[in-house]
């Protein structure tokens, strides 16, 4: 399978500002169902790291970069990103990561 036809995996790692853990968790939780029903979504899961208070991970897989870009352009996601300034440590981009599979040499 060539690179352009592979699904895109996106990982978002975020730490809540002190005292904002519950608000950030609720904001992240509010995106789950909406995101799962968007065109091009394969997987969308949000996790709380059990041994780090206020530390969250969003793991999602999309059929293409275009589908991921469309997700980031939706009103709920744009609104959430705007709220991260008050709820999360660091900028949205600092926690956003595209993942690339490592495969053994053939």
The dihedral over CA atoms of 77, 66, 49, 53, expressed in degrees to the nearest 10, equals: -30
* CA distances, 53 to each of 25, 26, 69, 89 (Å): 11, 14, 30, 13
Q: What is the pTM of this model?
A: 0.87
For the record, the structure tokens of 14 come out as: 């975020």
* pLDDT at residue number 2: 38
- Among 67, 97, 79, smallest CA distance to 7 is for 67
Could you report the per-residue pLDDT of 15-49, keeping only the tens digit for each?
999 999 999 999 999 999 999 999 999 999 999 99
- Would you list the domain boundaries of the chain? 3-99
* The CATH number of the domain covering residues in 3-99: 3.30.70.100
């Amino acid at each position: 399978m060539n690179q352009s036809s592979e699904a895109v995996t996106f990982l978002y790692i975020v730490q809540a500002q002190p005292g904002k853990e519950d608000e950030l968790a609720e904001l992240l939780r509010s995106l789950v169902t909406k995101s799962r029903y968007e065109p091009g979504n394969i997987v969308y899961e949000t996790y709380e790291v059990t041994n780090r208070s206020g530390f969250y991970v969003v793991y999602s897989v999309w059929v293409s970069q275009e589908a991921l870009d469309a997700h980031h352009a939706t009103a709920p996601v744009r609104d959430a990103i705007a709220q991260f300034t008050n709820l999360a440590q660091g900028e949205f981009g600092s926690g956003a990561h595209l993942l690339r599979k490592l495969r053994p040499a053939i």
